[in-house]
Amino acid sequence: MLPTLALLMVGAISRLIVGMTVRMPKWFVRWVSRRYVAGSSLDDAVKVMKRLEKEGACFTVDVLGEEISTMEEATYFLEEYQRLIDAIIENNLPSNISIKPTAFGLLIDRELAMKNIEQLVQKAAEHDMFVRLDMEDHRVTEDTIQVVFDLHAKGITNVGCVLQGRLHRTLDDIARFEKTLGPDTDFRICKGIYLEPEEMAYTSRQDIIEATNRCIDAMIASGSYVGIASHDHPVINHSLQALSDA
């Protein structure tokens, strides 16, 4: 199979899996997502955060959605996130926000998407709130990183992004962040959930875990802030040991 065709097929499969959830019964989606989704409304999310705050938790909140088809949808996400910031401040919650750049139009109109994201990040900055750009599939990896670099170049520094351990490029991206942003670098690392072609990513569980652990080591060695997101015990154990040794 030609590499380009393989890449397109893997991308299509990933989007098909996501698209299938729309057709699943709502009760089933709620059952599967109940550990991860605070609710179907902003009020639901605020109630959950208030309850968990009493247990010592802090948060990053994501309005679910990605890869829109019109810029009108991007306006919806911008307004929803603005409401979210207002609710976090009004309720004095220990929370930042996370966004998916494609929900702001990154695959439709990069210039307008950048304006949307910049507007939101500036609003968050007014309240000393950090904004994390979630990393999506390989089509937007470079653009997502560049959005962070462009905002920092404008002096808007309350923003960082997630990198995915499974991608072959990630160690080089870590070095780019360290060189470009220096002490202002703020990482989060995860394995990555998107099915990617072998030309771009590790595909076996063990290889992905080992690659993620190498990225964690590089991030910690950089001296930057590092957020580590994982359910995998080998990654968690490695992270605890690496932090202990740092």
In a domain, 127, yes or no: yes
Neighbours of 205 (CB within 10 A): 12
Neighbours of 42 (CB within 10 A): 17
Tokens 């063990």 correspond to what residue?
206
Neighbours of 237 (CB within 10 A): 11
In a domain, 33, yes or no: no
> How many independent structural domains does the chain possess?
1
Average pLDDT over residues 168-178: 98
Q: What is the pLDDT of residues 108-160, one digit of tens each?
A: 999 999 999 999 999 999 999 999 999 999 999 999 999 999 999 999 999 99
Question: Hey, CA dihedral for 104, 106, 111, 117, is it positive or negative?
Answer: positive
For residue 175, give its domain range. 59-245
Q: How far apart are CA 193 and CA 200, in angstroms?
A: 14
105: left (phi over 0), alpha (psi -120 to 50) or beta: left
In a domain, 159, yes or no: yes
61 and 88 Cβ atoms separated by less than 8 Å = yes
In a domain, 40, yes or no: no
* 34: confidence class by pLDDT, cuts 50, 70, 90: low
Nearest CA among 151, 134, 137 for reference residue 189:
134
Average pLDDT over residues 175-193: 95
Q: What does pTM read for this prediction?
A: 0.85
In a domain, 18, yes or no: no
SS3 sequence of the chain: CCHHHHHHHHHHHHHHHHHHHHHCCHHHHHHHHCCCCCCCCHHHHHHHHHHHHCCCCCEEEECCCCCCCCHHHHHHHHHHHHHHHHHHHHCCCCEEEEECHHHHCCCCCHHHHHHHHHHHHHHHHCCCCCEEECCCCHHHHHHHHHHHHHHHHCCCCCEEEEEECCECCHHHHHHHHHHHHHHHCEEEEECCCCCCCCCCECCCHHHHHHHHHHHHHHHHHHCCEEEECCCCHHHHHHHHHHHHHC
* 35: confidence class by pLDDT, cuts 50, 70, 90: low
In this model, does residue 13 exceed pLDDT 60?
Answer: no
Nearest CA among 203, 175, 173, 209 for reference residue 191:
209
In a domain, 124, yes or no: yes
Q: What is the pLDDT of residues 63-81, one digit of tens each?
A: 987 789 999 999 999 999 9
In this model, does residue 15 exceed pLDDT 50?
Answer: no
In this model, does residue 26 exceed pLDDT 60?
Answer: no
* 36: confidence class by pLDDT, cuts 50, 70, 90: low
In a domain, 142, yes or no: yes
In this model, does residue 28 exceed pLDDT 60?
Answer: no
Confidence at residue 65, expressed as pLDDT on a 0 to 100 scale: 79
Q: What is the CATH number of the domain that holds 152?
A: 3.20.20.220
In a domain, 29, yes or no: no
